[in-house]
Amino acid sequence: MEQNPDSLVISSDPLHPANLIPDLCRSFYQLGWVTGTGGGICIRQGDKVFIAPSGVQKERIEPTHIFVLPYPQPPPSPHTDRVFLRRPTLNLKESACTPLFWNSFHLKNAGSCIHTHSQHAVMATLLWTGPTFTISHQEMIKGIRLGGTGAALSYLDTLELPIIENTPNEEDLKDSMGEAMVKYPNAPGVLVRRHGVYIWGLDWEKAKTQTECLDYLFEIGVKMKLAGLPTSLV
């Protein structure tokens, strides 16, 4: 199924996914979310999924580095030969996050999923030692969608995100992430202890907005914890 790369990832439209992903990754790098080649993002558009390569400098990704996979693919193995575009000549491989991104498509009908290695997210998983991160009565909660793709939350709502345990290989998180998404259907993301967070949205704009809001909430929550302040008022 491999096609001419130019027909899939070269476009003059700045909003084409192959242009958006490098641009967003540069922004995420500046925020400290995808340093050291970590993290990733995917955008689903129609019957195609555009996905960043794995193990590369995220601030230096070019449109011609992007992988294109067909959607849907038979679960649970997105890593198959059914790809529109792969990058063997560039010695690149598709993101190790791919099976986890697929969770957001199958379980939430998401249009985009973002994975960060934000220190705020990691610290939240260390200070909240139980199965969830919770916070309430913060203005930035209003930027979060129920389940990541539903109605907007309000200032009075309590935000709850599941925390799953990390594994040596990222793809091995797929099942525990999926189980957490089912158990906590209102959560807009899943935290991975000592690792980072996966956040999804109906499209890339909403996924980006929710990632920014959640990172703010992780940061303020961590600061409140360390200051001895309660993070939930209910």
pLDDT one-digit tens code per residue, 206-234: 999 999 999 999 999 999 999 999 999 87
Q: Is 113 annotated as a binding residue?
A: no
- The amino acid that residue 76 corresponds to is P
Burial class of residue 202, CB neighbours in 10 A (0-12, 13-18, 19+): middle
Burial class of residue 122, CB neighbours in 10 A (0-12, 13-18, 19+): buried
Extents of the domains making up the chain? 6-226
Contacts of 7 (CB under 8 A, 6+ apart): none
Q: Rounded distance, CA 76 to CA 64, Å? A: 27
Q: How confident is the model at residue 94 (pLDDT cuts 50, 70, 90)?
A: confident
Structure tokens at 102: 């697929």
User: Would you tell me the crossing angle of helices 174-183 and 98-108 to the nearest 10 degrees?
Assistant: 30
Query: Which of 62-71, 145-154, 162-171, 175-184 is predicted least confidently?
Result: 62-71
Q: How confident is the model at residue 56 (pLDDT cuts 50, 70, 90)?
A: confident
- The amino acid that residue 75 corresponds to is P
Q: Rounded distance, CA 69 to CA 92, Å? A: 14
Span 101-114, mean pLDDT?
97
Q: Is 117 annotated as a binding residue?
A: yes
Q: In the beta sheet, which residues pair with residue 135?
A: 159
- Catalytically active residues, by annotation: 139
Q: Is 16 annotated as a binding residue?
A: no
pLDDT, mean over the chain:
91
Backbone angles phi, psi at 112, to 5 degrees: -160, 150
Q: How confident is the model at residue 20 (pLDDT cuts 50, 70, 90)?
A: very high
pLDDT at 85: 52
pLDDT at 173: 97
> What does the CA dihedral 150, 121, 203, 97 come to, rounded to 10 degrees?
-120
Q: How confident is the model at residue 140 (pLDDT cuts 50, 70, 90)?
A: very high
In the chain, % of residues over pLDDT 70: 90
55: Cα within 13 Å, side-chain hemisphere: 7
Q: Rounded distance, CA 228 to CA 196, Å? A: 24
Structure tokens at 54: 């794995």
Tell me: domain 6-226, CATH 3.40.225.10, correct? yes
pLDDT 10s digits, 111-136: 999 999 999 999 999 999 999 999 99
- Answer whether 211's CB lies under 8 Å from 32's CB: no
Query: Does pLDDT of 191 surpass 60?
Result: yes
Q: Is 106 annotated as a binding residue?
A: no
Instruction: Give the DSSP per-residue string, 75-115.
Output: TT---SS--SB--GGGT--B-TTHHHHHHHHHHH--SEEEE
Tell me which DSSP letter residue 141 carries: G
Q: How confident is the model at residue 1 (pLDDT cuts 50, 70, 90)?
A: very low
- The amino acid that residue 136 corresponds to is S
